[in-house]
Structure 1
Amino acid sequence: MKLLIKTTFIFLLLVAFSSNAQKSETPENSYDLGAKINEMTLTVGGVLVVATNDGLVGIKPSESTPIFSFTNFGQLKPEETEFVPLTPYIIVSQGKSTGFGAFGKTKRAVIDYVKGKVLFNSEELEWKQIYTCDVMLPQNKLVVSGLQKSDAKFESQVPKIAVYDLETGKNEYSFFLDKPGRVGVAKDFSVTGTPLLLKKSMLIPTAQGILAMSHDGKELWTSKIKNVGWMVANDAENEIYAFESVNNGNNTRIHKIGDTNGEALWKDDRKVKGTVSNFEILPQGIAIVSNVQPSGNKMFAAKAQSHIAFLSATSGEDLWDKAPKTNGYVQHFYITKDGILFGIYEGGINKISFDGTPLFKKPLKTGENILVMAESKQGLIYITSEDANIVNLSSGETVWNKPLKYKKATSVASTFDSKNNRYLIVADGKIKVIDATTGNVADFANCEFDEKEDPNTMQIREGGIFLSANQNMAMYDFNGKEKYKVYHKSPGRSTFGKIMGGIVSVTSTALAVSMSARAGANRSAFGSINDLDSYNDYGKEAKRAADMFAGIAGASFDYLSKRFKATAASENAQFMLTKLSDGVGLVKVNKDTGKVVKEIILNDKKPEYEVDETAGYLFYKANDKTIYTFNLNK
């Protein structure tokens, strides 16, 4: 089963046994699934989807029985289950269609895991071949293309498009891509990419070119541009950008066409190196990021790196005389009022105006793996695996006299103490404090964690500064004095389950929205996916996700919106796995005291479990066929 795009922080923290802890070993609910459990996935909606030898089962902890059981296709391979990012939908696929003239059956199903309802089943609707099956947002529609059985002569042999309402599962309209029984040489009208659903029409990329059809099936126009993978429209929906993969996917051709008759709006298409990973339509032009993968032939290998281009929306011509050098992959890409700001994974930050003028006096050198790029009152704060600093967003000059450097870390915890106007960053076993006004750096406290762990969480709380990692927790007062520190030896890496947190992270939100957009969603529904976020403002990200869900009609999206607006169960506690005196178990630990307030013995040396930190539920695989749920709020 494909891993759900991570839209949450992951915490696996261990703590000590407390004699005051409330023991709880009786599950609130028990679910006998009747078949061997192969994998568990906790969804963004808090429903556990379990893959068994029989199919998929959905468990909502507030319900005593599974909310759905999908066994129509039997046991599913991991790659046959797709969780559509930031939606309540699962697409199940079996069989691969090769398009025109293909033999063998392909099957698709779409499940709303919040409602526990199968919205689409190609077998029941007698689709013989499925070319594409795409969720369209914010319209909340499903667009399916392929061959559907029909009693009418020739219709079963002609590709068709069908649109289903994902709120009800009902078919709204459908039409053929060619005339059934047409006399002449058969043409391949198989769909090559994701259709683009517009207010008054739909654009379908086929092996014959792009077909523009009205919702009632009337052909509006055709274009000879073939083998398009995906398309994007401007807000007015009168200008279409079509992306065609060429040279075995090594390069991309970008076409611009009009919505009236499909005429080319650029004299020539624009070819960019690699695969387009980011594309945004701006008043000043078109911003594009493309990634080049290394070639298998070492002698003639293309360098693995990203390319940034800025094109005229009118002509497609490059607006920059000289594109900025990247020398690596673009890890961060933001649109600001005066230009484009980007950070490279291999190290380095730069900013270019929309007319191609460098806005930084020189590219900023940084450490590798930029973990954070965000806006603060003092400027752009960046934190990498090796260093941190604040940069003037206009000039690129550093605000701190010199960057804070430290040994390469797998994670770097930091926060801003607004009451004392200072930044706190953990590095090399110490908490460093940086005065926001002067940039002066001083030692605040020692915080060497056992098992050589790098702290991954830092939070300002009413009683002090909370710091944690997988096996360690600590609290310091605002003068740097340690209030408590707890550590428990890990029960072994093989025992780790996965804990899905309830707060949406900056990068995961942007990634999921970006993926949804390229899968057929209208980008305007989500706003810009390339906005620079505010440092340390995770609540803003949760609100962004909640607003995103609220902007899509449907009961399931309303449920997701309310879930993200709710206070997470993890606000004042952490849920942790540890080896207790009675065996391996999960404990609920108070962040302010470090005390265990609840523990659940799992009676398993290698427990498999998921914790929903938003609602406060533990899902535990009790045996090969059974799931237990525990309410962690009680």
Structure 2
Amino acid sequence: MRKFNQSILLILGVLIINYSTAQKAQTPENTYELGAKINEMTLTVGGILVAATNEGLVGIDPKNSAPIFTFNNFGKLEPEETDFIPDSPYIVVSQGANSKFAGLAKTKRAVINYINGKVIFNSETDNWNQIFTCNVVLPQNKLIVSGIQKEGDKFEKMTPKLAVYDLETQKLDYSFFLDKPGRVGIGKDFSVTGTPLLLKDFLIIPTAQGLIAKKHNGEDLWECKIKGINWMVADKTEKEIYGFETTTNGKNTRIHKIGSNGVELWKDDRKVQGNISNFQILPQGLAVVSDKSSGGSISVFAASDESEIGFLSASTGEDLWEKAPKTKGYVQHFYVQDDGILFGIQQGGINKISFDGKTLFKKPLKTGENIMLMAESPQGLIYITSEDANIVDLKTGDQVWSKPLKYKRATSVASTFDSSNNRYLIAADGKIMAIDANSGNVSDFAKCDFDEKEDPSSMEIRNDGVFLSSDQNMTLVNFDGDEVYHAYHKSPGRSTFGKIVGGALAVASTAMAVGMSARAGANRTGYGSMNDLSSYNDYGKEAKRAADMFSGIATASFAYLATRFKSTAATENAQFILTSLDEGTGLVKVNKDTGKIEKEIVLKDKKPEYQVDEISGVLYYKANDKTIYAYNLQN
């Protein structure tokens, strides 16, 4: 089953402390006997646990004593056959040939709403013999299916067809044939080759024959001979459409522009090197980021593996910049602002360029590798890499701090803003450093020497001080830098880590949920721009953005998702930690302010497989090959 990795946080840690006052929980709130071997567990963005078994999929809602759905129609599913649609309540299940045209092989598709447990679409029950494409379209909340349907006379049963279903009502909106059934003449291939574009009044379908536009009732509008289109995006007026074609060798992308009447609007298509990773239509032109690869897997160390940033004329497709900015690496951050485009490179470096191609920073800003954070702060743009940190003026690129804060290369760097004392706190090199927000002066605030040579991964301001944690360590220091407590316990074994995936909807990561991918095949009628610079430490703002995104779709399931993002996480005042207890490996709930364990759950398993929903405060534990326990961590 595909790993669902939008909007989650790994929360691990171990702690030496007096266990005698902790509440022990040996009996789960609910036990789920699934009747088949459990191969994998996935915690969804909606908090529902989906287990893949030898017989299919099972959905578990801890509020119910029995699974909310069991999908065994297709039998055991391979990992690549289950797709959790990001930022939605939907799972698309695929089985059979994965080619764009399956020939005589039978293909199956199903769509499940994991929140209400309903199977919205099943190609078997709807008499689809072959499926070319099956795409969830948001925010319209539709499903577009293309293929061969076994309905009608012998000619209709052989003619490619497209259907649009409403995901809320689970009913067919409309369907039509892509070719005339029984048409006599030279054979034409009308198999669907990419993601159809659903517009207000019509659809555009990329086929092996070219682009086809049809009204929602199936009435023909126009055809265009542009072939090989993988995905499309329209401007706000829906009068201008951009189509993206990946070349046969996969190393380049061609961009086509057509009008809503099917007429090609550019004299020639625009060829860009690499695969497009970001595309945005702006009033000033088209922002394009493409990633070039020397071949094989992309390597950040290969000189030829880098991103290109281009800015094209919407009217002609010509490059508006005389000289594209040099990247010398992959674009890790890309943000559109009022005066230009701000970007950060994975191999190090930040720059900003105006919409007319002029460099806005006096010179490219040199940084360490792996820019973990770029965000707006009252003082300017704060960036944190694995090697350094600083704040720079967003207009000029001038350093606000006289020189970058440098430290040894770290796998993670924890930071926060202490508003009461008007200072930034950054943990690295075994200590917490304080940077005065006004002067930029740096001073050592507190020691932070974590065991197992761990780098702190999170920091937050509490009522009584600054809380800092990593996988195996927790500490609280008061606002004078004196340690209140430090707790550590040896990890139960590194081999355990690969089996543990925390299910947190970490508010710090909710900005990811607002965006959508620009990869080929992605739904380009999605929620909105992913290119907005976040505000440093303003987790509430990011959570609200995500909640508003879900609230924009008027269905009960999306309303439920919006409510979850508005909820206070169970980890606000506690951290859930894996440790070795007297009776075996277990999970403990630790109070962040006191360091005391409030609850213990003994799992009696040296390598437990479990997931924690940190919003609802629920532990899902695989008790044996066929059984899952659900524990309430809140009480």
Does the alignment reach a TM-score above 0.5? yes
Match of 1:582 in 2: 583
Residue pair 1:131, 1:191 contacting (<8 A) in 2 also: yes
Identity %: 66
Residue pair 2:344, 2:351 contacting (<8 A) in 1 also: yes
Match of 2:111 in 1: 110
Task: Give deviations 1:359-411, integer Å, cap 9, x for gaps.
Answer: 01110110000000001011100000000001111111111111011110000
Residue pair 2:96, 2:106 contacting (<8 A) in 1 also: yes
Match of 1:271 in 2: 271
Match of 2:285 in 1: 285
Match of 2:534 in 1: 533
Q: 1:97 to 1:411 in 2, by over 3 A?
A: closer
Residue pair 1:211, 1:221 contacting (<8 A) in 2 also: yes
Match of 1:218 in 2: 219
> What is the 5 A alignment of 1:178-577?
178-259=179-260, 261-295=261-295, 303-496=304-497, 497-506=500-509, 509=512, 513-514=516-517, 519-523=522-526, 526-577=527-578
Task: Give deviations 1:234-263, integer Å, cap 9, x for gaps.
Answer: 01111000001114211000011100x211
**What is the Cα deviation at residue 553 of structure 1?**
2.1
Query: What amino acid sits opposite 2:517 in the alignment?
Result: S
Shifted more, 241-250 versus 276-285: the winner is: 241-250
- Between Structure 1 and Structure 2, how many residues are aligned? 629
Query: What amino acid sits opposite 1:57 in the alignment?
Result: V
Task: Give deviations 1:608-629, integer Å, cap 9, x for gaps.
Answer: 0000000000000000000000
Shifted more, 97-106 versus 486-495: the winner is: 97-106
Query: What amino acid sits opposite 2:505 in the alignment?
Result: G
**What is the Cα deviation at residue 581 of structure 1?**
1.6
Name the SS of the counterpart of 2:502 in structure 1.
strand
Name the SS of the counterpart of 1:514 in structure 2.
coil
Residue pair 2:287, 2:310 contacting (<8 A) in 1 also: yes
Residue pair 2:102, 2:131 contacting (<8 A) in 1 also: no
Residue pair 1:504, 1:545 contacting (<8 A) in 2 also: no
Residue pair 1:8, 1:508 contacting (<8 A) in 2 also: no
Q: 1:275 to 1:32 in 2, by over 3 A?
A: same
Q: Following the alignment from structure 2 to structure 1, what is the Cα–Cα distance between the partners of residues 303 and 577?
A: 45
Query: What amino acid sits opposite 2:525 in the alignment?
Result: N
Residue pair 1:140, 1:553 contacting (<8 A) in 2 also: no
Q: Following the alignment from structure 2 to structure 1, what is the Cα–Cα distance between the partners of residues 305 and 38?
A: 40
Match of 2:77 in 1: 76
Residue pair 1:188, 1:208 contacting (<8 A) in 2 also: yes
Query: What amino acid sits opposite 2:534 in the alignment?
Result: D
**What is the Cα deviation at residue 550 of structure 1?**
0.4
Match of 2:21 in 1: 20
Q: 1:590 to 1:552 in 2, by over 3 A?
A: same
Q: Following the alignment from structure 1 to structure 2, what is the Cα–Cα distance between the partners of residues 59 and 399?
A: 50
Task: Give deviations 1:499-556, integer Å, cap 9, x for gaps.
Answer: 1213244486168523699622424xx3321011101112222111111110012111
**What is the Cα deviation at residue 97 of structure 1?**
4.5
Shifted more, 187-196 versus 512-521: the winner is: 512-521
Task: Give deviations 1:13-64, integer Å, cap 9, x for gaps.
Answer: 2223421100011000000000000000000000000000000000000100
Q: Following the alignment from structure 2 to structure 1, what is the Cα–Cα distance between the partners of residues 503 and 436?
A: 34
Residue pair 1:499, 1:610 contacting (<8 A) in 2 also: yes
TM-score normalized by structure 2? 0.97
Match of 1:64 in 2: 65
Q: Following the alignment from structure 1 to structure 2, what is the Cα–Cα distance between the partners of residues 389 and 15?
A: 33
Q: What residue ranges of structure 1 are gaps of 5+ in the alignment?
A: none
Name the SS of the counterpart of 2:20 in structure 1.
coil
Q: Following the alignment from structure 1 to structure 2, what is the Cα–Cα distance between the partners of residues 33 and 12?
A: 27
Q: Following the alignment from structure 2 to structure 1, what is the Cα–Cα distance between the partners of residues 481 and 591?
A: 20
Residue pair 1:67, 1:116 contacting (<8 A) in 2 also: yes
Shifted more, 526-535 versus 332-341: the winner is: 526-535
Match of 1:54 in 2: 55
Q: Following the alignment from structure 2 to structure 1, what is the Cα–Cα distance between the partners of residues 287 and 456?
A: 37
Name the SS of the counterpart of 1:31 in structure 2.
strand
TM-score normalized by structure 1? 0.97
Q: 1:504 to 1:372 in 2, by over 3 A?
A: same
Q: Following the alignment from structure 2 to structure 1, what is the Cα–Cα distance between the partners of residues 223 and 456?
A: 57
RMSD in angstroms over aligned alpha carbons?
1.6
Q: 1:36 to 1:179 in 2, by over 3 A?
A: same
Q: Following the alignment from structure 1 to structure 2, what is the Cα–Cα distance between the partners of residues 465 and 4?
A: 32
Query: What amino acid sits opposite 1:597 in the alignment?
Result: E
Q: Following the alignment from structure 1 to structure 2, what is the Cα–Cα distance between the partners of residues 568 and 197?
A: 36
Residue pair 1:39, 1:50 contacting (<8 A) in 2 also: yes
Match of 1:34 in 2: 35
Match of 1:606 in 2: 607
Residue pair 1:32, 1:625 contacting (<8 A) in 2 also: yes
Name the SS of the counterpart of 2:523 in structure 1.
coil
Residue pair 2:461, 2:467 contacting (<8 A) in 1 also: yes
Query: What amino acid sits opposite 2:558 in the alignment?
Result: F
Shifted more, 509-518 versus 288-297: the winner is: 509-518
Q: Following the alignment from structure 2 to structure 1, what is the Cα–Cα distance between the partners of residues 315 and 152?
A: 49
Match of 2:46 in 1: 45
Q: Following the alignment from structure 2 to structure 1, what is the Cα–Cα distance between the partners of residues 144 and 67?
A: 28
Query: What amino acid sits opposite 2:516 in the alignment?
Result: V
Name the SS of the counterpart of 1:19 in structure 2.
helix
Q: What residue ranges of structure 2 are gaps of 5+ in the alignment?
A: none
Query: What amino acid sits opposite 1:280 in the alignment?
Result: Q
Q: Does 1:592 align with 2:557?
A: no
Task: Give deviations 1:470-510, integer Å, cap 9, x for gaps.
Answer: 01000011110111110011110222322121324448616
Q: Following the alignment from structure 1 to structure 2, what is the Cα–Cα distance between the partners of residues 93 and 557?
A: 23
Q: 1:101 to 1:402 in 2, by over 3 A?
A: closer
Shifted more, 380-389 versus 501-510: the winner is: 501-510
Name the SS of the counterpart of 1:57 in structure 2.
strand
Query: What amino acid sits opposite 1:268 in the alignment?
Result: D
Query: What amino acid sits opposite 2:10 in the alignment?
Result: I
